[in-house]
Amino acid sequence: MKLEMRSVMFVLFSLFVLSVGSASWVQAAQFEKEYLYYRDANVPPFQKSREFFDMPNRKGFFEVTMVSEAVGPLTFRIVRVRGDNEKTQVQQRSYSLGSHEFQTSFDNASGEDDLIVEVSNSNPATVAKVSVFVVELPAR
């Protein structure tokens, strides 16, 4: 009887772990599909990378996130583009020895703006690998 009860408990526990694991995987897959844009950039030492994002031609509120495990100073810059005009919205320097994270909002109230994300690597020895995520947020 005890052996049978252990078997039942083991099966129930296994099903629970599998369902939680698959639910997490499904949630991650859904979240991944919700990105408007996702790009990886490699920024050489003492160089900068500029990534242009052609935003949808509609009003919207977006969130821009950049993450990197690079060593050394990185500068993150968000630029609003309308036609040929560029205007810096936010610029921040991170001196972290890894785990750099920069997050800001981008309000495209007119639906006419595009986005440039710029990352400058001030480390003289290593390439900085940076991931950029742009997510459209629900209407407010």
Mean pLDDT of the chain: 81
Residue 101 has pLDDT above 50, yes or no: yes
Domain assignments of the chain as residue spans, ordered by start = 1-33, 37-137
Place 98 in a pLDDT band, splitting at 50, 70 and 90.
confident
Fold (CATH) for 37-137: Jelly Rolls (2.60.120)
Query: pLDDT tens digits for 41-59?
Result: 999 999 999 999 999 999 9
For the chain, what is the largest distance between any 2 Cα atoms, rounded to a whole number of angstroms?
A: 78
Place 78 in a pLDDT band, splitting at 50, 70 and 90.
very high
Q: What mean pLDDT is predicted for residues 15-42?
A: 57
